[in-house]
Structure 1
Amino acid sequence: MKIAIRYYTKTGNTKKLADAIAEVCNVEAKTVDEPLTEDVDVLFLGSAIYAAGIDKSIKEFLQNINVNVGCIYNFSSAALIESTFGQVKKEAEANGLKISDDEFHCRGAFKLIHRGRPNEKDLNDIKEFAKRIIN
């Protein structure tokens, strides 16, 4: 199974999650600035909410995928909003990409809100999520 991990982060919270997935999958987590260069069965795509929306970098990454992607699995962190899933799903489907309803989300620290998140429990939970997807 060919696996790729891409993410976008401003605060480092989503990078922590991406690195935890990378540890489980033995695949390097890369930012969305690095396009996919070969077909993948599973794409773990990480994002967060900034000013009530996903960053344009996620949208541009999805628009510019020119390889076959079996299925996207969304993972995200946010201080206030529950998940990026709805916004990422809308963008993925608009670009003809399949996205699983199975996603991972946890709180992310922002200023004084949710200090220390993602925490060890969040990182263990996302590792279990990744194991379930690849097995």
Structure 2
Amino acid sequence: MKIAVRYYSRSGSTKKLADAVAQAVGVTAQTTDQPLAEPVDLLFVGGAPYVGSQLDGHLREFLHRLTYEQVKQIAVFSTSNWKMSIYNQTHRALRDDRIQIVDRGYMGRGALGVINQAHPTPEECADAADYARKTVARLSNG
């Protein structure tokens, strides 16, 4: 199974989770500034819901450009002060409805100004890595 990890992070919280997810599945996490170099079976996408539960424009535009020829399935992970998923926002941003989002994803806390600056914690990073390994195992066996 060919896997990639892309993320957008303003404060660094999502980057921490992206690095944990990528290490767990044996790839390098890259920002959404880096297009996919080759097609993948599974793309882990990380971000945060911002004001009004919207994705940052960088992440939204990256998702909007994806095609089924590039990505078959997406697994999301997100950071938020309120542990909100970016599942719905990701679904709305995709223009190619053949791309499947595999589940609601992993949700961890992120920093919001001076609130939750310690997040994601090492335990949350470990949980995100576990989510990634289990997702790959489930999809590989399914």
TM-score by length of 1: 0.91
Question: Once the 2 structures are TM-superposed, how far is the Cα of residue 34 of structure 1 from its aligned partner?
Answer: 0.6
Counterpart in the other structure of 1:63: 64
The CA deviation string for residues 23-71 of structure 1, in whole angstroms up to 9 with x for no partner, is 1111010000111121101100001122221111112111222443121
Q: Residue 128 in 1 paired to residue 137 in 2?
A: no
Counterpart in the other structure of 2:78: 76
Larger mean CA deviation between 103-112 and 8-17 belongs to: 103-112
Q: Is the 8 A contact 2:73 2:101 kept in 1?
A: yes
Question: Once the 2 structures are TM-superposed, how far is the Cα of residue 90 of structure 1 from its aligned partner?
Answer: 1.7
Q: Which amino acid aligns with 1:87?
A: Q
Q: Give the distance between the partners of 2:65 and 2:87, measured in 1 at CA.
A: 19
Larger mean CA deviation between 82-91 and 121-130 belongs to: 82-91
Q: Which amino acid aligns with 1:126?
A: A
TM-score by length of 2: 0.87
Q: Is the 8 A contact 1:42 1:72 kept in 2?
A: yes
Q: Give the distance between the partners of 1:107 and 1:49, measured in 2 at CA.
A: 11
Runs of 4+ in 1 over 6 A off after TM superposition: none
Question: Once the 2 structures are TM-superposed, how far is the Cα of residue 95 of structure 1 from its aligned partner?
Answer: 2.7
Give the gaps of 5 or more residues in structure 2: 138-142
Aligned length: 134
| SS of aligned partner of 2:125 | helix
Q: Is the 8 A contact 1:42 1:73 kept in 2?
A: yes
Q: Give the distance between the partners of 1:7 and 1:80, measured in 2 at CA.
A: 19
Q: Give the distance between the partners of 1:76 and 1:48, measured in 2 at CA.
A: 5
Larger mean CA deviation between 60-69 and 30-39 belongs to: 60-69
Counterpart in the other structure of 1:23: 23
Q: Is the 8 A contact 2:85 2:105 kept in 1?
A: no
Counterpart in the other structure of 2:93: 91
State the percentage of identical aligned residues: 37
